[in-house]
């Protein structure tokens, strides 16, 4: 026997609208459960085993959900906020109902790859420094980057600023372009302290003007996703993430 829940709730978690919309579909006689017309929205259904069909179309219940979002700047990485838009506002209500939450955070002005998942253990493993899952960012800074900066990142930086002091782990800095006015670089870190990438560059005397996360472990941001767009991860991508943080 699998997880049991009300039929209207199950249909909502299958992506068929709100619970009230699901109740309307059930009462209209459009829903079959195990080949029989469903009449009671409150009927307890085995979520994993029942054959639920809407207008003859089989519905699929997935107990966990994993989403890739191309986070835009100006959006908070939070479940909810009274005054500002959050990443959860970019997804259909289904995902909040399923318990999807961001696996880690991106600053409000930082763009790029964000994973949201209802698998709390996976989220913890992805963000825990103990698992050393690498995150790659592309940074645009307002000054010159040189070999000395690459070496400093590789050695690990001591950060001591208004937000506190800590020793940043060794990070891989790759300079894409460099000039006195502006440089572009990619940096791979394995921890995610508050404003870490920005603070590491600040410790080298330059300020980040634009920051975008490109990858988490071996999973890269889908180039087909425009800013603010999302899609569910494939089974292969989920397996890839789990291998990164066993």
> At residue 143, does pLDDT exceed 60?
yes
- Cα pseudo-dihedral 150, 198, 111, 241, rounded to 10: 60
| Domains 4-58 and 66-130+218-244 in one fold | no
Q: What is the mean pLDDT of residues 103-107?
A: 94
| Class of the domain covering 4-58 | alpha beta
Q: What is the pLDDT of residue 154?
A: 98
Mean pLDDT (the chain) is 94
CA-CA distance, 65 to 122, in Å (whole number)? 11
Q: What is the pLDDT of residue 2?
A: 66
Q: What is the mean pLDDT of residues 24-40?
A: 94
Q: What is the mean pLDDT of residues 192-200?
A: 94
What is the percent of the chain where pLDDT is above 90? 81
Q: What is the pLDDT of residue 13?
A: 85
Instruction: Name the phi and psi angles at 155, rounded to 5.
Output: -85, -15
What is the percent of the chain where pLDDT is above 70? 99
Q: What is the pLDDT of residue 17?
A: 81
Q: Are 173 and 157 in contact (CB under 8 A)?
A: no
Query: pLDDT class for 1, splitting at 50, 70, 90?
Result: low
CATH superfamily of 134-216: Alpha-L RNA-binding motif (3.30.70.1560)
Q: What is the pLDDT of residue 48?
A: 83
Residues 66-130+218-244, CATH architecture? 2-Layer Sandwich (3.30)
Query: pLDDT class for 238, splitting at 50, 70, 90?
Result: very high
- Model confidence over 116-141: pLDDT tens digits? 999 999 999 999 988 999 999 999 99
Least confident of 75-84, 169-178, 195-204, 222-231: 75-84
What is the sign, positive or negative, of the torsion defined by CA atoms of 8, 85, 66, 123? negative
Q: Which of 46, 89, 107, 109 is catalytic?
A: 107
Domain boundaries, the chain: 4-58, 66-130+218-244, 134-216
Q: What is the pLDDT of residue 182?
A: 98
Query: pLDDT class for 61, splitting at 50, 70, 90?
Result: confident
Least confident of 16-25, 151-160, 193-202: 16-25
User: Does the annotation count 222 as an active-site position?
Assistant: no
Specify the pTM.
Answer: 0.85
């Amino acid at each position: 026997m699998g997880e049991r829940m009300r039929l209207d709730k199950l249909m909502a978690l299958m992506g068929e609208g709100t619970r009230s919309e699901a109740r309307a579909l059930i009462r209209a006689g459009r829903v079959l459960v195990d080949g029989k017309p469903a009449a009671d929205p409150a009927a307890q259904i085995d979520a994993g085993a029942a054959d639920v069909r809407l207008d003859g179309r089989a519905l699929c219940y997935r107990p966990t959900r994993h989403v890739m979002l191309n986070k835009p700047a100006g959006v908070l990485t939070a479940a909810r906020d009274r005054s500002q838009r959050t990443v959860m506002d970019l997804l259909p209500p289904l995902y909040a109902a399923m318990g999807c939450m961001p696996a880690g955070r991106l600053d409000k002005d930082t763009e790029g790859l964000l994973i949201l998942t209802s698998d709390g253990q996976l989220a913890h493993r992805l963000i825990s420094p103990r698992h050393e899952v690498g995150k790659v960012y592309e940074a645009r800074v307002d000054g010159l980057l040189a070999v000395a900066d690459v070496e400093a990142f590789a050695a690990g930086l001591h950060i001591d600023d208004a937000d506190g002091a800590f020793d940043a782990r060794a990070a891989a800095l790759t300079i894409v372009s460099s000039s006195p006015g502006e440089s572009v670089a990619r940096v791979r870190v394995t921890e995610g302290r508050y404003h870490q990438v920005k603070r590491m560059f600040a410790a080298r005397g330059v300020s980040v003007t634009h920051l975008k996360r490109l990858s988490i472990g071996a999973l890269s941001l889908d180039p087909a996703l425009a800013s603010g767009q999302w899609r569910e991860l494939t089974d292969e991508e989920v397996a890839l993430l789990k291998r990164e943080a066993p």
